[in-house]
Structure 1
Amino acid sequence: MVHQRNYDIVAITETWWDDSHSWSTALDGYKLFRRDRKGRRGGGVALYIRGVLDVIGIETNDDEVESLWVKIKGKANKADILLGVCYRPPNQDEEVDNLFYKQLNNVSGSSALVLVGDFNLPDICWELNTAEKQQSRKFLECVEDNFLSQLVSKPNRGGTMLDLLFTNRDGLVGDVEVGGRLGHSDHEIIESSIIGEIRRNINKISTLDFRRADFGLFKRLIQRVPWETVLGNKESRRDGCASRRKS
């Protein structure tokens, strides 16, 4: 499906990956960035990013927070894009929430930031920016303090909005759509376009432009070569090599 839809970036939450499986998570043509849950089953996040994009991973030291950040290089004179994916379990402690808020505060200074993930905060009303629970209200405060806009407007799991998409710049992300599923997931896919000029790695290969060649001159030069002498000497060298190998 990833190749069929020609995605440049794929963000996945709840990968459930760990080192106990022998199957490969590689996807042809994509770089994989992953953070597996430490010490217990479930969770985990991953990013598949098309190989031609110029991207580097950003290290974080918060093992309790299931998040992953990368920087996608922009073209000359264009801002780099900071991209993050996060999975917040439904029963996450406030202490871990605070670690994530600190992490988000550290990266929110980027002029172009995109954050996606499953945050498991179904009581938030994003139309009114209100919430029933204290943890959800604190999450809203963090979003507002970091000047983030939430762009998903439709339910994406069982009539609730668990998967969200944030950005800190108007016009950076567009074409947000909800629909379809990846594999056996019970969450709807969120599709969007990052409207930025991203640097792509280009392999430069020099080739000859035969459309501009002087074939008349080429033919005359070829005719001047004493082919019988050249090929005769080559045949003599070949025979000499053969005889030396036999001795």
Structure 2
Amino acid sequence: MSILRVQYGVRCKVKLNNTDDLLVGLCYRSPNSSQENNEKLLQKLRRVEDIKSSLIFGDFNLPEVDWIEGQVRAGETHHATVIYDIMQDLYLTQYVDFPTRYREWQKPSTLDLIFTNEDFMIENLCEKAPIGKSDHVGLMWTYVCSSSISTREEAQGGKPNYNKGNYKAMKQVFNDMNWQHELEDKGCDEAWQTLKGVCNKAVHDHVPFKKVKKKHKPRWLCSRVKKAIKTKYKLYMRYGDNYRDYEEYKKQNNKTRKIVREAQANYEKRPMKEFKNKPKAFYNYVREKQKVKVGVSQLECEDVRLTETDREAAKELSKFFKSVYTKEPDGPVPELPRRTGETVEDIIFTQEDVQKKLDKLSADRCPGPDQIHPRVLKECSKELSLPLSIIFRKSLDTGILP
């Protein structure tokens, strides 16, 4: 940890791991601060833009700013407005949402602030009793250096390796099923659950599992970069043995640094160029850079109970989305003018139509909420087209989605 004292506080750099550093800054801005001092403070804050992880806190004395509503009760040239705009331009997140200074006959105000350059880095923020005769409350919080979300595969100790699946055996399982007899007397949802259960059992029996390995090496580490690093290491070892060939090592060191920077820049440009055709690659890159990986958290139900499954969370989100739409009164639906003389009495499709759709699936996509992988549907399209066509017909006839 390196400590550096500045005019308006103290800052230090904390080593988090082999590659990441955290800048911790403690700032104090006097309520009678001059324009010159405010400019110097802003210069210090602008340097945060080039730092990967930062935590800035202290007494900023900005009672004009309402951090909850995101408003400033001052003119455009006022120091509070200028500082607030700089914080917004730097994409800093402010966490204190309660008054931190109490004085008799005065309105409580939020003067002590906590900033980070990434969301969800502060947890368990709470106020404590003032220290000594101070009229400012104490603040205590937990800083999250990093976190991750364990996937379903990691929780199970592995994930199915669909590239090595025994699809011949799976086809035999599906062919041995008498789908007409199995699904004939069942409702739409019950028929779907039956098919889903057979598919999941076939995957469990005939698709091997592989362990999930976390990738620690950077994605930009290509063969060219590896070769340059290896050459640099050999020259360094030669220089360390006899203290000769230093110039050659120095040239290779500079060359390696240049190659590494080019590889990093090319890797970062690729998601931008391919954003239109491959938006998922761009969002994966953005997610990689986040210290805190945030998924869909538990939601509170109407009975003050937290959701436990993805299905329950989806239902609660659906209820919320429905609540924002206008509820039409009961009564006859207004008739719209007919734009065509043709009427669709029924939707006709065959087993072959379903098979053609399954054959066009992208086998490298992730499975949906049903956890049936597209590779299974595509490889066994002929065998699964019959039960799926039966379920689709039941769904159209009954108006029920499974």
Q: TM-score, normalised by structure 1?
A: 0.53
What is the CA deviation profile of residues 144-194 of structure 1, one whole-angstrom value per residue up to 9, with x for unaligned ones? 111101100110111110111111112222111123122222110111111
Question: In 1, distance between residues paired with 2:56 and 2:144?
Answer: 14
* 69, 72, 76: which one aligns with 1:131: 72
Corresponding residue for residue 34 of structure 2 = 93
2:22 aligned with 1:76: no
Q: 1:59 to 1:181 in 2, by over 3 A?
A: closer
Corresponding residue for residue 172 of structure 1 = 121
% same residue? 27
> Secondary structure at 1:108's aligned position in 2?
helix
Corresponding residue for residue 181 of structure 1 = 130
What is the CA deviation profile of residues 56-87 of structure 1, one whole-angstrom value per residue up to 9, with x for unaligned ones? 11354xx4xx121100111234x211000111
What is the CA deviation profile of residues 86-130 of structure 1, one whole-angstrom value per residue up to 9, with x for unaligned ones? 110101112211111111111332111110110111111111221
Paired residues of 1:111 and 1:169 also in contact (CA < 8 A): no
Corresponding residue for residue 17 of structure 1 = none
Question: In 2, distance between residues paired with 1:118 and 1:59?
Answer: 17
Question: In 2, distance between residues paired with 1:59 and 1:92?
Answer: 19
| Aligned residues between the structures | 138
Q: Which runs of 5+ in 1 are unaligned?
A: 1-54, 198-247
Question: In 2, distance between residues paired with 1:161 and 1:69?
Answer: 22
Question: In 2, distance between residues paired with 1:129 and 1:94?
Answer: 23
Q: 1:86 to 1:59 in 2, by over 3 A?
A: closer
Matches within 5 A, 1:96-245: 96-133=37-74, 134-158=78-102, 159-196=108-145
Question: In 1, distance between residues paired with 2:60 and 2:5?
Answer: 21
Amino acid at match of 2:61: N
Question: In 2, distance between residues paired with 1:171 and 1:193?
Answer: 11
Question: In 2, distance between residues paired with 1:101 and 1:86?
Answer: 11
What is the CA deviation profile of residues 22-43 of structure 1, one whole-angstrom value per residue up to 9, with x for unaligned ones? xxxxxxxxxxxxxxxxxxxxxx
Q: Give the helix-richer structure, 1 or 2.
A: 2
What is the CA deviation profile of residues 3-37 of structure 1, one whole-angstrom value per residue up to 9, with x for unaligned ones? xxxxxxxxxxxxxxxxxxxxxxxxxxxxxxxxxxx
* 56, 63, 72: which one aligns with 2:2: 56
Q: 1:179 to 1:59 in 2, by over 3 A?
A: closer
What is the CA deviation profile of residues 171-227 of structure 1, one whole-angstrom value per residue up to 9, with x for unaligned ones? 222111123122222110111111116xxxxxxxxxxxxxxxxxxxxxxxxxxxxxx
Question: In 2, distance between residues paired with 1:190 and 1:180?
Answer: 9
> Secondary structure at 1:170's aligned position in 2?
coil
Q: TM-score, normalised by structure 2?
A: 0.33
Amino acid at match of 2:4: I
Q: Kindly indicate whether structure 1 or structure 2 has the higher relative contact order, using CA contacts under 8 Å at least 6 residues apart.
A: 1
> Secondary structure at 1:104's aligned position in 2?
helix
> Over aligned residues, Cα RMSD in angstroms?
1.5
Q: Which runs of 5+ in 2 are unaligned?
A: 103-107, 147-402
Question: In 2, distance between residues paired with 1:153 and 1:190?
Answer: 12
Highest Rg: 1 or 2? 2
Corresponding residue for residue 363 of structure 2 = none
